[in-house]
């Protein structure tokens, strides 16, 4: 047997166990579940402020019908409202998304390290994407802060976020490739293949 078999539930007991090894099938089943959960939570974090903005627009439209232009036909409906401020609260949205990213990192960190150990690599490789996602999550609210108009973002900051996101995707892709490599045969410097995780 190559690497450590870790049951799905055992990952929660091993959240802070950064030593030992973990096989591919154990890791990917758990990582897929964490990824799926984080996608659902991210969508909820994005939808909540959007719905709040739409409710605000609807309430304004009901109170000021003279400011509303409605257009509809087969397969479409649109409402244009003149006046009022209806942009979503991006600060709250990015804060919620940042919390989701932080939780995903905590849930995956030790499993990523063990999986890298199983391929004979240091767990430090797992940090490759972290600086880029951290920079983007910190800088993004500054671009969409309430005091800024969407038509006049800081071009330097916007470009820095764009480049950071590109480097994040490249680093994440490199990490996924490392995590997908086969286990080393027999013992390596991180432990014996098939030894129980502690």
pLDDT of residue 135: 93
pLDDT of residue 2: 41
pLDDT of residue 198: 44
pLDDT of residue 63: 79
pLDDT of residue 3: 45
**Residues 98 and 144 sit within 8 Å (Cβ to Cβ):** no
pLDDT of residue 1: 34
- Give the orientation angle of helix 155-180 with respect to helix 130-143, to 10 degrees: 150
Render each residue's pLDDT in the chain as its tens digit; 198 residues.
Answer: 344 788 999 999 999 999 999 999 999 999 999 999 999 998 988 887 777 777 777 777 777 777 777 777 787 767 676 765 566 667 778 888 889 999 999 999 999 999 999 999 999 999 999 999 999 888 887 776 655 555 566 788 889 999 999 999 999 999 999 999 999 888 899 888 754 444
Number of Cβ atoms within 10 Å of the Cβ of 45 = 18
pLDDT of residue 105: 94
**Upper half-sphere CA count for residue 46 (Cβ side, 13 Å):** 6
Instruction: Report CA 65 to chain centroid distance, whole Å.
Output: 40
pLDDT of residue 55: 79
The pTM for the full model equals: 0.76
User: For residue 10, which phi and psi values (nearest 5 degrees)?
Assistant: -65, -25
DSSP assigned state of 188 = B
pLDDT of residue 153: 64
């Amino acid at each position: 047997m190559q690497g450590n078999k870790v049951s799905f539930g055992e990952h929660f007991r091993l959240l802070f166990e950064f030593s030992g090894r973990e096989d591919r099938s154990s890791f990917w089943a758990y990582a897929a579940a964490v990824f799926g959960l984080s996608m659902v939570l991210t969508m909820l974090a994005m939808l909540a402020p959007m719905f709040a903005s739409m409710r605000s627009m609807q309430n304004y439209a009901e109170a000021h019908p003279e400011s509303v232009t409605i257009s509809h036909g087969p397969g479409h409906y649109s409402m244009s409202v003149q006046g009022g401020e209806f942009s979503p609260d991006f600060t709250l949205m990015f804060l919620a998304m940042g919390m989701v990213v932080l939780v995903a990192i905590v849930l995956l960190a030790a499993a990523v390290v063990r999986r890298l150990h199983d391929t004979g690599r240091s767990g430090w490789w797992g940090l490759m994407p972290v600086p880029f996602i951290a920079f983007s999550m910190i800088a993004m609210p500054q671009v969409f802060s309430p005091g800024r108009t969407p038509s006049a973002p800081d071009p330097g900051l916007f470009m820095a976020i764009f480049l950071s996101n590109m480097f994040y995707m490249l680093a994440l892709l490199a990490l996924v490739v490392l995590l997908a490599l086969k286990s080393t045969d027999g013992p390596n410097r991180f432990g014996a293949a098939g030894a129980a995780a502690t």
